[in-house]
Amino acid sequence: MRWQGHAWTNPACLLGPVCRPLGPGAGSAGKMGLDDQMRRCMLLGCRPGSLARVALTLSLATVVVTYCGCCGGPGNGNEPGPNDPGDAQPGTPHLLVEPTSLEYASPAQTRTVTISNTGTGSLSWGRGSGDDWIVLQPESGLGDDTIQVTVDPPGGTGQGSFTIISNGGQQVVTVSVGPQVVASVAVTPDPAEVVTQGGTVTVTATARDALGGTVAVAPANWEWSIADPAVATVAEAADGSCTVTGVALGETAVSVVDSGSGNSATVPVTVYTPYHVERTSTGIHAGTLTWTVSAPGLTADDWEAYVASAPELPSQTDCTTEWATQGASSDEVVEGSPLARAVRRLRLQGGGREHGFTAVATYTMALWRRELKSGRPGTNEPPLSSAEIAASLVSLSTVDWDSQAFQGWLDALGLRRQQGELDVGFARRAYDVIDDHTVYEYVPSQDRRASALCQSGDPIRTDCGGHSILFTAAMRANGIPARTLWGWWAVSGENCHVKAEFFAEGAGWVPVDMTGSGFGLCGGDHIAFHIDTDVELNTDLAGPYTAGWMQQPQWWVHWTSGSGDTATTTCEWTVTDL
């Protein structure tokens, strides 16, 4: 027997050692095809290019066999190759594949099969025949393993299979990809958020099958609706998505239905302002106003004196007001304007007060630092009631925004709210323009009506009260609720001070201090006695009286003799941190 001019070392067998079987059903090596040997070498990890066909010239015939120079398989008649399982790896491996049938509701899903060796020895396995739209990861390995199986059949559905081959047997796994059925619908984003009126957000719907796979739905099948069109509107797009447009700040919901399956989904929609006011407590404070009236030139038998009761505001809470003198306390009454502000009244008759007296007003409250910041508030601040809106837009004797002179001044400075301009944006612009055309100057007897100030020159010379009146009038003239706050600095020995604030939808009351901390900032350093001007008092001694502001007490006296021409008053202001 000859093998290309080389003699077999063991001619006792007709085919020598090459008859060693590969595995179950492999038969003798002399009958093994090239493809079988390639799979064998793949499983054993042989070097590429090791396989070759050789011709054995025997006495009876010439036989073509397959030879691998790496593993020695099916055998070279000499020593075993380096990967030859032969005697180096004793035992009989046995392949177990689970499961042997895979079902998919949609191609988007992934399934797994496990490879196990239930025999002895080492198991080498790999992918054999199968449909090319079935993808295995990994495709081969040694020992136990897990295979991820993904599918992409033509048309989205189909039946197929793949085979796992090994040195311990083989196993066919069947694959079935069924038609996609819509089981649920989801909407993104969830929740949907729209920035202020006129803002938009695009929402999309996704259909899923029972196992979570995505199901294609014709765009025309999506039907969108909104729960409250007063808050937002919807507009369907050709691609099946939907544009939600804010109408008013608030909350509603958008819904979508897949007309093909009847499945639907609903998500909340919030229309919100892009600003919020951050509040920080500065503690509890007590402001004490010690007021003394001295009238040595008269003999009085009846006194009447009023102070404003501090209101609850975003900048001050838990407010109490006491107004008393030795041996007498005050009662609370309501002034007669639409604001119905509370005031405290002292009525003193006799009791040794013929030439004057001293009374003390004590204001106790929690003060808050407030700052306007960008970004969505945690929740939209509640809107003003119709009564609050009316009170914050009314024309007053000082804030006479509807006067012809003031309207002309607004036009000359371009202080008209533009289409789509947010209330905060316009307020900031108004603040800057007014600041450019004013200079601080305190004139005690100044006419602080907005109509008078705007005609007093350029720049306008006025104090904190005049600045606040101009800003408030400009806001009200453009339909934005605003108000002035009259009080004192929350510092002992300091003077009276006036601030303003406007209402921004969703953000609430925004502080403005034209001559102090600036736009959008309140330092928690001001105690407000009352809101706005024109406090209508119904006095016992003088009848109806309108006080422009009440940073100091308003008082009247009835005397039996002498003259009130020499009467004087003094105030001492102290603040204590509690």
3-state secondary structure 392-405: CCCCCCCCCCCCHH
pLDDT at residue 357 in the model: 94
Whole-prediction pTM: 0.66
Mean residue pLDDT of the chain comes to: 85
- Mean pLDDT computed over 364-372: 97
In percent, how much of the chain has pLDDT > 90? 69
Look up residue 539 and give its two tokens: 């006095």
Pair of tokens at residue 174: 């069947």
**What is the rounded average pLDDT of the residues 382-406?**
96
**What pLDDT is recorded for position 259?**
93
Q: 123, 22, 112: which is closest to 74 by C-alpha?
A: 22
Q: How far apart are CA 82 and CA 79, in angstroms?
A: 9
Choose among 542, 547, 563, 534: nearest CA to 304: 542
pLDDT of the residue at 3: 33
Residue 138, CA distances (Å) to 113, 127, 146, 326 in order: 11, 9, 8, 96
Which residues sit opposite 518 in a β-bridge?
513
Quickly list H helices, 322-437.
Answer: 386-391, 404-413, 423-436
Condensed to tens digits (0 to 9), the pLDDT of residues 154-185 reads 878 888 999 999 999 999 999 988 777 888 99
In terms of residues, how long is the chain?
A: 578
Note the pLDDT tens digit of each residue in 89-138. 468 999 999 999 998 877 878 999 999 999 999 999 999 999 999 999 99
**Please, what are the domains in the chain?**
2-68 (no CATH), 95-177 (2.60.40.10), 184-272 (2.60.40.1080), 281-367+535-577 (2.60.40.2250), 380-523 (3.10.620.30)
pLDDT at 516: 92
Q: Convert 196-227 to b/e letters by CB count within 10 Å (16 or more is b).
A: bbebebebebebbbeeebebebeeebbebebe
Residue 473: closest CA among 498, 439, 500: 500
In terms of DSSP bridges, do strands 184-188 and 110-117 run parallel, antiparallel, or are they unpaired? Answer: unpaired
Tokens of 518: 């600036």
Of the candidates 19, 4, 27, 37, the residue with the CA atom closest to the CA atom of residue 77: 19
Question: Is 87's pLDDT higher than 80?
Answer: no
